[in-house]
Structure 1
Amino acid sequence: MNAKAEVTDACDLRFGQVGIACVRVRRVDAAALCDELERRVRAAPQMFARAAVVLDLSHLSNLPDDGAVDALLEAVRSAGMLPVGLAYGTSETEALAKRMGLPLIAKFRAAYEPAAGSTSPAEPAPRAEAAPTVQREPILSAPPSDGMHGAQHHAGSVRSGQQVYARERDLIITGAVANGAEVIADGNIHIYGSLRGRAMAGAQGDGKARIFVSDFRAELVAIAGQYRVFEQIPGDLEGQSVQCWLEGDKLLIARL
């Protein structure tokens, strides 16, 4: 009698683009951190409740001790978010992550981490800022993003739960982006349909990137880490053709 064949493949392991927010800690105050994150969750529960976040400690003058970091992580959890790791940083950060049993997320490089082959600091990790005021004076042209390849085209709609990422190029969507769907590009994003989900341009820090939408009903738009969340679209923007761009640290939106 033949023995039963042994099943050796217990799982598949794959890497892909994952939507993770970055919490940049500016002072070691667990209570204040919890209050601020709770405010964000209350303002946009569909976006931030149980959101996966990375803790960036690079803007602190000194790396906190293990107990202080544990308190910060607990503050994130208490606010309703889920910390999944620390932002990639120095050897001290790596040692801290090992002691805390957390991974280092290389996508978020700390502000003090030098770029490869350079003595200047790398671009800081994306940060979440308070929603800026909408500006209604449009700018009709989009400057090309340096170093970008030809645009990536996605024919049809992007369904809820799907993510489309255009690496080192612009992204063109010829259909709708549904609630819960996510479109990301290192360059500009053009959506020739309704945007009901999330659109994030300049994902690697390109502040010149722009977002163009034919029918604006977004959950979130972001450029180079600066974002705006919408629980309710302003009446003069809902369903309109708009563009989004950065002026300094402000994300501006205007009808076309």
Structure 2
Amino acid sequence: MKLSDTSGEASVFELKGSVLTVMVLYVKETNPDLLYPQLKKKIGPARSFFNNAPILIDLKAVPEGEQLRLDFLVLTTFLRGLGLVPVGVRAAAETVEQRVLDAGLGVLPPATREKHVAPQEEEQVIEPVPDEPVEPEPKPEPAAEPVAEPAPDPKQTPEVTAAPTMVIRQPVRSGQQVVAQEGDLIILASVNAGAEVVASGNIHVYGALRGRAMAGVHGDADARVFCLQCNPELVAVTDAYVVNDSLESRVINHTVMISRGENGLEFDVLGAFEPQRG
């Protein structure tokens, strides 16, 4: 068999490492009678929000014996039925790794960078134990005049660090995803259809919002979405969302502020958008 020499050909691909944002499903119980109904109840109503989103399955909290009872092929099929795209399993026991691979999933090691909050040290209370007979209490001396404590030095007062704000100056094109893990996200251009912008805080789009925007993804119900021209495929604040087909005609292509209300998302029209023509 003659192999062709490709040493002189131009490279047609590259392999690079990348840090991507992906949802993680932390499994705590493998009983199918409990796991699948709860997944359907939680994800089913927000199917459009999770549609085609990659998801990683984490088994750190599941003992090896329970992992052996988990049918990974059934789990991946069920998740795909909810619109998710399972990509791998993290912290799987060695005894189930082959079953994970047979289900078409990757095998990842346990997460090594997790935040832990050290418990506060309890105050130690020392009770006096008398070794000798108690002597009579001495007569009280005249009270000393109060001494004013010095004012705290402002230089030593701890400063409150504000969450950073991410600013994007170029348009977010179809297929791109921009994520602000902390603070607000400001887009000084448009978000095209098929693009996705995600932020822990507020999202400001100083252009047309035609893709998907998700604010307050870490649970900040006070987060807002501001857009100069509102016509998104999907917009969400925490767990409340609206898809394009459900938008009221009064908000489409207008300047809008979107917030989380008691009964879902609220759209406040701030003005009409009319692009300037040169």
Q: TM tier, shorter chain?
A: 0.5 to 0.7
The alignment status of 1:28 with 2:7, answered yes or no, reads: no
- CA drift of 1:197 comes to 0.7
Tell me whether 1:254 sits opposite 2:273 in the alignment: no
Over 3 Å counting, the alpha-carbon distance change for 1:81 and 1:171 in structure 2 is closer
Provide the identity percentage: 28
Q: Residue 80 of structure 2 aligns to which amino acid in structure 1?
A: R
> Are positions 1:161 and 2:175 aligned together?
yes
For 1:55-94, list aligned pairs within 5 A.
Answer: 55=57, 64-70=66-72, 71-79=74-82, 81-86=84-89, 94=92
The total of aligned residue pairs comes to 212
The Cα shift of 1:169 comes to: 3.1
Query: Which one has the largest radius of gyration?
Result: 2
Q: 2: CA distance between counterparts of 1:211 and 1:58?
A: 35
CA distance change for structure 1 residues 152 and 56 in 2, over 3 Å: closer, same or farther?
Answer: same
Instruction: Find the partner of 1:234 among 238, 242, 247.
Output: 247
Does residue 212 (structure 1) correspond to residue 226 (structure 2)? The answer is: yes
SS of corresponding position for 2:79: helix
For residues 219 and 201 of structure 1, the distance between their equivalents in structure 2, rounded to whole angstroms, comes to 14
Q: SS state of the match for residue 169, structure 1? A: coil
Structure 2 Cα separation of the partners of residues 210 and 82 of structure 1? 28
For 2:153, the equivalent position in structure 1 comes to none
Structure 1 vs Structure 2 CA RMSD: 4.5
| One-letter amino acid matched to 1:192 | Y
Structure 1 length as normaliser, TM-score? Answer: 0.60
Q: CA deviation at 1:170?
A: 1.6
Q: Partners of 2:40 and 2:181 in 1: how far apart?
A: 35
Alpha-carbon distance, 1:13 to partner: 2.6
Equivalent residues of 1:54, 1:105 under 8 A apart: no
Q: Give the match for residue 95 of structure 1.
A: 93
Question: Per the alignment, do residues 255 and 105 of structure 1 end up closer, same or farther by CA in structure 2, a change over 3 Å counting?
Answer: farther
Structure number with the bigger relative contact order (C-alpha 8 A, sep ≥ 6) is 1
Secondary structure of 1:232's match?
helix
Work out the CA distance in 2 between the residues paired with 1:254 and 1:174.
Answer: 21
